[in-house]
């Protein structure tokens, strides 16, 4: 195990910042475009000053209304950044998009909202900006 | 545009459920194993009854302590499920893991916690179970 000490006995710091964003009344065209959603992820990485661990990964999700779902089709995208991630799921015909921007480094939440509003042209955004990992130990509790 | 109506004029429902999970005092071995973290994602998909849109995608994140970061290395994993996602980031030497389970279909939050506790053997978990997309329109606001 090589355990040095219990995490409770080490100074604790906050691990990261997580923005939770739900957008309503988005324009159909950008929410339905792989190119636009790809660029949105790139722009969010840039505006937050984060570092990609992979290029953005995108899939098209087909409608699941016939299976009793509530999705009439859209795009899901994801990019792994150093230690955390940015995700987006759009539902073009509903005008809905739901995003998460989670980073271990602080970033400006207003810059994130500006990029999203400009890209998706949404009428309304619900947003929450929360701290994650409030008991993150400042030092390692194990040795290699 | 083919806009049918404004989203505010349509009945609104809740889009999905998002569990936000931060784990402390995790065992080093599972948090440092690509195999274990891969299986954890598979188990979370199974226990929530969700459907994968892709196999789990995992990367090893190297330490960024020399760059002034707070990560001494770990694993990041992600799986796109129908309309949403499950993500995990482990920090093995810190005994920390941070997870998100987000689905448009309801699932049992306790089952999710059981799988995580059993796999990562953490001493302490901070968890929040939130609703996302409270103004999700029940019908399409655009036509194809």
C-alpha separations of B59 from A24, A98, B56, B62, B74 in Å: 33, 24, 10, 10, 9
Catalytic residue annotation of B: 84, 89, 104
Tell me phi and psi for residue B101, to 5 degrees: -125, 110
- Contact indicator for A15, B96 with CB cutoff of 8 Å: yes
C-alpha separations of A15 from A93, A105, B22, B100, B106 in Å: 37, 8, 10, 15, 28
DSSP characters for A96-144? Answer: EEEEEEEESS---HHHHHHHHHHHH--SEEEEEEEEE-TTEESS-SB--
pLDDT digits (tens, 9 = 90+) for B71-115: 788 999 999 998 699 999 999 999 999 999 999 999 999 999 999
- Residue in B100, B105, B139 closest to A100 by CB: B100
What is the pLDDT, as a whole number, of residue A69?
75
ipTM confidence: 0.94
Q: With bands split at pLDDT 50, 70 and 90, how would you rate the model's confidence at A95?
A: very high
Tell me phi and psi for residue B42, to 5 degrees: -60, -45
**A80 and B76: CB-CB below 8 Å?**
yes
DSSP-assigned letter for residue A63: P
Q: What is the pTM of this model?
A: 0.95
CA A79 from centre of chain: 8
B4 touches chain A (CB under 8 A): no
- Contact indicator for B59, B75 with CB cutoff of 8 Å: yes
B143 touches chain A (CB under 8 A): yes
A135 touches chain B (CB under 8 A): yes
Find where tokens 């065209």 sit. A29
pLDDT digits (tens, 9 = 90+) for A29-74: 999 999 999 999 999 999 999 888 889 999 998 877 777 777 778 9
Residues 6+ apart with CB under 8 A from A104: A15, A16, A82, A83, A84, B69, B70, B71
Residues 102-121 of A with CB under 8 A from B: 102, 104-105
């Amino acid at each position: 195990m090589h355990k040095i000490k219990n995490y409770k006995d080490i100074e604790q710091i906050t691990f990261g910042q997580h923005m939770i964003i739900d957008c309503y009344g988005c324009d159909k065209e950008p929410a339905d475009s792989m190119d636009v959603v790809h660029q949105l992820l790139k722009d969010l990485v840039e505006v937050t000053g984060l570092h990609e661990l992979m290029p953005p990964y995108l899939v098209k999700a087909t409608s699941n209304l016939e299976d009793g779902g509530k999705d009439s089709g859209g795009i899901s995208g994801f990019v792994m950044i150093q230690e955390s991630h940015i995700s987006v799921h759009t539902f073009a015909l509903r005008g809905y998009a739901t995003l998460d921007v989670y980073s271990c480094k602080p970033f400006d939440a207003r810059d994130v909202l500006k990029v999203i509003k400009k890209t998706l042209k949404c009428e309304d955004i619900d947003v929450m900006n929360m701290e994650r990992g409030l008991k993150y130990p400042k030092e390692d509790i194990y040795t290699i």
